[in-house]
Amino acid sequence: MVFVTETTKPTKPFLRVLAGETVSPPPMWLMRQAGRYLPEYRETREKAGGFLDLCYTPKLAVEVTLQPLRRYGFDAAILFSDILVLPHALGRNVAFKEGEGPVLNPIRDENDIDFLKMDGMEKTLAPVFETVRGIADNLPAETALIGFAGAPWTVATYMLEGGSSRDFTVAKDWMFSRPAAFGKLIDTLVEATTRYLITQIDNGAEAIQIFDSWAGVLPAAYFRQWVIGPIAEITRRIHAERPGIPVIGFPKGAGVLYEAFVKETGVDGVGIDSSVPVRWAATNLQPHCAVQGNLDPLLLVSGGAAMENAVREIREALENGPFIFNLGHGVVPQTSPDNVAALVKMVRKPL
């Protein structure tokens, strides 16, 4: 594998933006662009059986990754997988139940952390790395490949709560009252996540996105400690060990803390959620890194004039600097594929 060096200029539009260039019209991709809104995805998922089976079957995972590219010609593909394959690879039971979402056997004491073993990680995740290679071998020449993982804080919440949560009672209790044990879990996840992402890079990923979906639930001081700190360390190690590979952070719900996030983590790009005012992002975030976002996914459901007006506002605010068009979160299942096609036309059209 030949790594991009700091003296090599990227040619793919998506990577050029992450290297600090302004590209117009902007490159675009969508979070959850491979998903249930596409009939071909639903058909492929039927063949796989369970959701984890789909993630761990390279032939099918490659297929669903490529499906939205065939339809829409996005500038980047993102590996089809899930953030919870990492705790699964560390030895925790993970299942996806219809109507309930992810279910894990929760960590209940510090001894459970000691049983998280990285020795078998690579074997469990081998199908994911095979998927990365398969995608890389089948991408159009101008399309970039994004690898990804969940951020340590967000993954820790699932491991401590045993699944999704509304109030994060268990995770916050550990964070507030058992900081040493909580720090031990985060440190383990920093190490495991870094190894996982570097192996994705070694198999063909050209950029990395770190999803911190629950970053916005933390008080400011804890955000700095458990969101900024771990992501800064992962980013530092990726930049040191695989120079030229850009990192995008997505601390959803960070609000005004987005500014500290981009200044203190060293990320090359930041995904902003739909609540972030785009002109504020242009002034406070874009001078420090590329900005990615941030159309409300439900505007994509509605389509029409409301979507067109929002797209124009986003582009007018952010297109004078390094900018990647995306949503403020993932495509939702009720989205019409025709609305996605209309969105692509809006973004590809010169302002």
Report, as residue numbers or ranges, the catalytic residues: 32, 36, 45, 82, 158
Whether the bond between 294 and the residue before it is cis, its omega within 30 degrees of 0, is: yes
* Half-sphere exposure (Cβ direction) of 154: Cα atoms closer than 13 Å: 22
Q: Tokens representing 52?
A: 């984890």
Residue type, 315: R
CB of 285 closer than 8 Å to CB of 246? no
Q: Tokens representing 334?
A: 């009720």
Q: CA 69 to CA 131: how far, in whole Å?
A: 16
**Sequence-ordered list of residues with C-beta below 8 angstroms from that of 15, at least 6 positions apart, any chain:** 144, 206, 207, 246
CB of 273 closer than 8 Å to CB of 326? no
Q: CA 198 to CA 238: how far, in whole Å?
A: 7
CB of 37 closer than 8 Å to CB of 335? yes
Q: CA 166 to CA 164: how far, in whole Å?
A: 7
Nearest to 211 by CA among 157, 170, 287, 290: 157
CB of 67 closer than 8 Å to CB of 136? no
CB of 223 closer than 8 Å to CB of 184? no
